[in-house]
Structure 1
Amino acid sequence: MEKKNPAATGGILHKIKKVACLDASPSDTGKGKSKSADSKVFHGFHLVEGKSGHDMEDYHVAEYRTIKGHELGLFAIFDGHLGDRVPSYLKDNLFNNILGEPMFWKDPETAIKNAYRSTDRFILENVGQLGPGGSTAVTAIVIDGRDLWVANIGDSRAVLCERGSANQLTVDHEPHVERRRIEKQGGFVTNLPGDVPRVNGQLAVARAFGDQSLKAHLSSEPDIRHVPIDATIELVILASDGLWKVMSNTEAVDMVKSIKDPLAAAKRLTTEALARKSKDDISCIVIRFG
């Protein structure tokens, strides 16, 4: 996701991170699978730094936890802007906040919404530590290989392959779609020739974590979908907009639905996005079932 003049911003932040010894980056490729005999879930991920003039600002989560006798697959893509501190914080804390909600097992949707809101409040209250930047998010929780809960804010996306066809599970929170709400809250949306719509001429999404300077006009309310997993569900693709800017949902699903190794599938998608001249950071997780 892009802010205005990303090259200049990235250069300044790169120098700051060098001084602060914050240059460490997460592993950019890997795969895994559920440990439960009753839950056949496999995943692979691949992240590629873009060519927009700033350091890598994407982070991911791909792990399994056993809680109260249930196995949870936890997956996420966080696409940061104005630095990587906010997405780095989300990587380490968002799922803890969701699973820490007392009502998670009875009402996952409300728990996820509450956790997104409380996480955003924490980021804004700790801007001195986390910086003024922000991040989009797409998260997926697989419970016992039977239930899928997907949530998102921003334009990172989750796309399902069901009966061989693509089904977008998330909502791209674009500024022109939410123009009325943004203007009612005192902001504005620009739509200059050759550019994408932006909130106050800066941010290309209407919902995000953080972004203190724009928060009066942004939302952190996630869209949430629940999908029961059955034999018709083959895989889910989670990816940042570095992939979706150059590829349709159907193209992505058709490209990998016959690839059984989810890591090979994730690499196939990121490689194709690069071949199509995507300049943004590209992050992709492919989750296969059965």
Structure 2
Amino acid sequence: MVQLSALFHTFSKNITSGPGKKSRHGVEREAAIHLAKEAKRHELVLTASGVATARNQKNFAAAYSKQGKKGLNQDRFIVWQEFGCQEDMIFCGVFDGHGPWGHLVAKCIRELMPSLLLCNWQEAVELNGHDADYSLGLDRNKAQFDMWKQSYYKTCAAVDQELQRHPGIDSFYSGSTALALVRQGDLMIVANIGDSRAVLATTSDDGSLVATQLTVDLKPNLPHESKRIAQSRGRVYACPDEPAVHRVWMPNGQTVKGPGLAVSRAFGDYYIKEFGVISEPEITQRSITIRDQFAILATDGVWDVISNQEAVEIVASTPERAESAKRLVEHAVCAWKRKGKSNVIDDISAVCLFFHHSIASEAVDDVKLNKNYV
């Protein structure tokens, strides 16, 4: 396995040998960006509807996105195989933009988050030492999770700051959710901001597949979310014409363009950040077992019309894994249409990550792209 620290060191020497002197963090960030470019060059990064499989056949991912009836498709996703040149690592993310600039916000986050996370994780690894988990007598997965958790916190804070300073994107009234998953060996770390959702499919004792929700839909009416918003002088309520949709509103007497925000955590949306909306992720972990078959990451365009168990059954019953994400999205589109004309179909995106070897996947090249969506 290629050692990420060695790559960072080699690239750092190349940068610092030139004119000018960069900070250590700046050098490591450039190294992470360089690795991202190299991954794209070697077709290890998937950002268009298609499939990706690792050379060791341990991970197989299918992704698909379909534009709704609201205008531009504001969903974005990414699958990065061999994340950070590590054969046992993969990064998956889905991002659901909203507001006039939502599509650009989601795209910006997709570009920033993976490389920044890689940089912060490498810093955490070096700070704690490669064998810190053993020397401290800690459970290995716990030590790894702690490093990933702190890396995610730093990354999300940095992404939100960079987005606010971005000269080409007005994110004051626009924003995006973010759902990211990293698999490192048998450890899975999931970080969530907003109302996209991750669901795990696990084989039960009787052989059937059972859906387990890995994330919480972070909406304003959740008790701990509404409490934070109220403490920041924000308001949470649902309008009479949408009684089931609770939104975050500014304090009485203050106005805002368009409707209130239907999520309690998001990147961007700076008009309402001081009133309780935050960009801090909720982070969870799970040790993958032989019974865990696949994970689904999808935007709310799926979960508004399809249950967790239905989604698992749709994916599991798809004859070819490569078609699983597309089939799930198409089922969601049909479910939206059944709701009637009064319900405008949302943008719908899904990533299906399979954990174990499949004979059918051997016929798939390292990465195949069907670039009908960028």
Do the aligned partners of residues 207 and 47 (structure 1) sit closer, same or farther apart at CA in structure 2, a change above 3 Å counting?
Answer: same
Greater shift in the superposed pair: 277-286 or 255-264: 255-264
Kept in 1: contact 2:302–2:348 (CA 8 A): yes
Deviation at 1:261, TM superposition (A): 3.1
Tell me, yes or no, if structure 1 residue 40 matches structure 2 residue 47: no
Q: 1:235 to 1:69 in 2, by over 3 A?
A: closer
Which residue in the other structure is 1:289 paired with?
Answer: 355
Question: What residue number does 1:197 align with?
Answer: 246
3-state SS, counterpart of residue 130 of structure 1: coil
Change (3 A) 1:266 1:119: same
Q: Matches of 1:231 and 1:198 in 2, distance apart?
A: 40
* CA root-mean-square deviation: 1.8
Matching of residue 186 in structure 1 with residue 233 in structure 2: yes
Contact 2:325-2:352 at 8 Å conserved across structures: yes
Question: What's the offset of the Cα at 1:225?
Answer: 1.4
Whichever structure has more strand as a proportion of its residues is 1
Q: Is the 8 A contact 2:181 2:189 kept in 1?
A: yes
Q: Which residue matches 1:31?
A: 51
Q: Tell me the equivalent position of 2:341.
A: none
Distance in structure 2 (CA, Å) of the matches to 1:182 and 1:287: 34
Instruction: Flag structure 2 segments of 5+ consecutive residues without an equivalent.
Output: 1-45, 131-143, 204-208, 250-258, 338-344, 357-374
CA distance in 2, matches of 1:153, 1:205: 9
1:269 aligns with 2:328: yes
What are the within-5 Å matches in structure 2 for residues 1-290 of structure 1?
28-35=48-55, 37=56, 40-52=58-70, 54-65=71-82, 67=84, 69-82=86-99, 83=101, 84-101=103-120, 102-103=123-124, 106=144, 107-126=147-166, 128-132=167-171, 133-144=174-185, 146-163=186-203, 164-177=209-222, 178-195=225-242, 196-200=245-249, 201-216=259-274, 217-259=276-318, 261-277=320-336, 279-290=345-356
Aligned residue pairs total 260
**Whole-Å Cα distance in 2 between the matches of residues 70 and 253 of structure 1?**
27
Write the letter of the residue equivalent to 2:188.
L
Map of 1:8 onto structure 2: none
Distance 1:75 1:44 in 2: 10
Cα 1:227–1:257, aligned 2, differ >3 Å: closer, same or farther?
same
Give % identity: 32
Q: TM-score, normalised by structure 2?
A: 0.66
Q: Name the TM-score, length of structure 1 as normaliser.
A: 0.84
Contact 1:45 1:262 in 2 (8 A): no
Q: Say which structure is richer in helix.
A: 2
Distance in 1 (CA, whole Å) between partners of 2:272 and 2:298 is 24
Q: Is the 8 A contact 1:262 1:287 kept in 2?
A: no
2:180 counterpart letter in structure 1: T
SS in 1 for 2:88: strand
